[in-house]
């Protein structure tokens, strides 16, 4: 019977389900309703006019076809209307009955790892003083890890009981400190040192020592190395820089204390304490009542370290420091067990690392 209907009406009929599905709200549905079954100018109205003017013998069939079409449209519109009304009602219900005491949707929130966050912070602290970041590989040569740092050939740290070595490459090891980055960087910049007016950088990174895993030991941990090379650099510059940086880190009232110590790659060498940031140096469990906590080791570069890189120690001098990141993180957070930092429980990370 469809052959009795005009082509445009048939096309409209085909398009109907699409158009119906595309109606996202009641307004759109009303417009669609007007176009298909409205009193005037709609497809249905045109069909009724067609029926009026049809020859008598066709009226019965045509009427049936028109009715089927109209019925399909009206049912479709009615069902879609019910759907949209229900959706709107539900939305209205939620909107009108909004209970502000109900927990709202909260965007997901992750966290940086506390160790990375602390290292980032250290970089930020030193940045205004002109320090940039240098990095080096974790798998290092003996030369960079030991020899270039004035560590004697028979030093116990070289033993396989202290340092991890690679089976297929006996000359390669897992760096035991971030200090080989000093050696690499000095070797690289030595020819252009004068042009650049020396160098100053931090080297944050992961290091490895052959320690069994327990609450205070880990075979992998993090260090931040700092180094400065310039003209006429002395202990006063080490002290000045660390005083600035540690105050920026722990607060303006922080005091620092240098104590003599020994590391093969520096001379003079020192340990640096800060006034306990947890008790304002009044004495607490963390500082064991002393008011001071040890924070890093440092010193003026040993002339052999400069010489190894081809830098004349008569002309250039500098200082370096090395800081244990876990140690500082544990101290600041009073985390009782180092292993928590490598367990990566999301609750720990969220609480300790957080976001910037």
User: What residues from 34 to 93 belong to the interface with other proteins (CB under 8 A)?
Assistant: none
Q: Which is nearer to other proteins, 59 or 307 (CB)?
A: 307
Taking CB under 8 A as the criterion, the residue among 71, 90, 92, 344 binding other proteins is 344
Taking CB under 8 A as the criterion, the residue among 269, 291, 322, 324 binding other proteins is 269
Taking CB under 8 A as the criterion, the residue among 46, 70, 210, 339 binding other proteins is 210
279 counts as binding other proteins under rule CB under 8 A: no
Question: Restricting to residues 221-260, which ones interact with other proteins according to CB under 8 A?
Answer: 222, 228, 230-237, 239-241, 243-244, 257-260
Largest Cα–Cα distance in the chain?
119
3-state secondary structure of 97: coil
196 counts as binding other proteins under rule CB under 8 A: yes
Taking CB under 8 A as the criterion, the residue among 120, 280, 312, 337 binding other proteins is 120
164 counts as binding other proteins under rule CB under 8 A: yes
DSSP H or E run through 352:
helix 346-352
Q: Which is nearer to other proteins, 170 or 215 (CB)?
A: 170
Q: How far is the CB of 51 from other proteins (least distance, A)?
A: 25
103 counts as binding other proteins under rule CB under 8 A: yes
Give the closest residue to 225 by CA, choosing from 210, 203, 244, 240.
Answer: 203
Q: Which is nearer to other proteins, 49 or 197 (CB)?
A: 197
Q: How far is the CB of 277 from other proteins (least distance, A)?
A: 19
208 counts as binding other proteins under rule CB under 8 A: yes
216 counts as binding other proteins under rule CB under 8 A: no
Taking CB under 8 A as the criterion, the residue among 46, 70, 113, 339 binding other proteins is 113
Question: Restricting to residues 136-155, which ones interact with other proteins according to CB under 8 A?
Answer: 137-139, 154
What backbone torsions phi and psi does residue 111 show, to the nearest 5 degrees?
-160, 145
- 87 torsion bin: left (phi>0), alpha (psi -120 to 50), beta (else): alpha
Question: Restricting to residues 310-329, which ones interact with other proteins according to CB under 8 A?
Answer: 317
What backbone torsions phi and psi does residue 288 show, to the nearest 5 degrees?
50, 40
User: Are the C-beta atoms of 261 and 297 separated by less than 8 Å?
Assistant: yes
The stretch near other proteins (CB under 8 A) out of 36-44, 46-54, 61-69, 338-346 is 338-346
d(CA 222, CA 118): 10
d(CA 111, CA 353): 6
Q: Is 69 exposed, middle or buried (0-12, 13-18, 19+ CB in 10 A)?
A: buried
User: Are the C-beta atoms of 183 and 156 separated by less than 8 Å?
Assistant: no
d(CA 305, CA 319): 11
95 counts as binding other proteins under rule CB under 8 A: no
Question: Restricting to residues 283-302, which ones interact with other proteins according to CB under 8 A?
Answer: 300, 302
Taking CB under 8 A as the criterion, the residue among 172, 278, 284, 332 binding other proteins is 172
DSSP string, 274-323: EE-TTTTTS--TTTTTSSEEEEEEEEEEPHHHHHHTT--TTT-EEEEEEE
User: Are the C-beta atoms of 262 and 324 separated by less than 8 Å?
Assistant: no
- Sign of the dihedral defined by the CA atoms of residues 155, 157, 158, 162, in that order: positive
Q: How far is the CB of 112 from other proteins (least distance, A)?
A: 5
Taking CB under 8 A as the criterion, the residue among 5, 28, 135, 333 binding other proteins is 135
């Amino acid at each position: 019977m469809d052959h009795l209907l005009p082509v445009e009406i048939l096309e409209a009929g085909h398009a109907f389900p699409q158009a119906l599905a595309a109606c996202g709200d009641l307004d759109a549905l009303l417009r669609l309703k007007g176009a298909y079954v409205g009193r005037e100018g709609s497809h249905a109205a045109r069909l009724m006019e067609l029926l009026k003017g049809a020859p008598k013998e066709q009226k019965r069939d045509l009427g049936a076809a028109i009715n089927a079409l109209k019925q399909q449209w009206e049912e479709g519109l009615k069902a879609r209307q019910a759907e949209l009304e229900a959706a709107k009602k539900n939305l209205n219900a939620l909107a009108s009955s909004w209970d502000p005491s109900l927990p709202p949707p909260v965007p997901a929130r992750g966290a940086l790892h506390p160790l990375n966050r602390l290292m980032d912070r250290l970089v930020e602290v030193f940045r205004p003083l002109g320090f940039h970041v240098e990095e080096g590989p974790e798998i290092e040569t003996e030369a960079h890890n030991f020899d270039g740092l004035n560590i004697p050939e028979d030093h116990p740290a070289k033993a396989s009981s202290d340092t991890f070595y690679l089976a297929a490459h006996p000359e390669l090891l897992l760096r035991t400190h971030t200090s080989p980055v000093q050696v690499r960087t000095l070797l690289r910049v030595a020819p252009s040192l004068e042009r650049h007016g020396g160098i100053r950088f931090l080297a944050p990174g992961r290091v490895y020592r052959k320690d069994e895993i327990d609450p205070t030991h880990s075979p992998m941990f993090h260090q931040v190395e700092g180094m400065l090379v310039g003209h006429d650099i002395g202990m006063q510059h080490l002290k000045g820089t660390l005083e600035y940086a540690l105050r920026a880190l722990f607060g303006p009232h922080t005091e620092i204390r240098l104590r003599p110590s020994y590391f093969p790659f520096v001379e003079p060498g020192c340990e640096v304490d800060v006034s306990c940031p947890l008790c304002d140096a009044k004495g607490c469990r963390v500082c064991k009542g002393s008011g001071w906590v040890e924070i890093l080791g440092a010193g003026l570069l040993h002339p052999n370290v400069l010489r190894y890189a081809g830098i004349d120690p008569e002309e250039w001098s500098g200082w370096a420091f090395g800081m244990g990141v876990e140690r500082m993180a544990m101290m600041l957070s009073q985390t009782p067990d180092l292993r928590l930092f490598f367990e990566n429980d999301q609750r720990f990370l969220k609480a300790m690392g957080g976001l910037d």
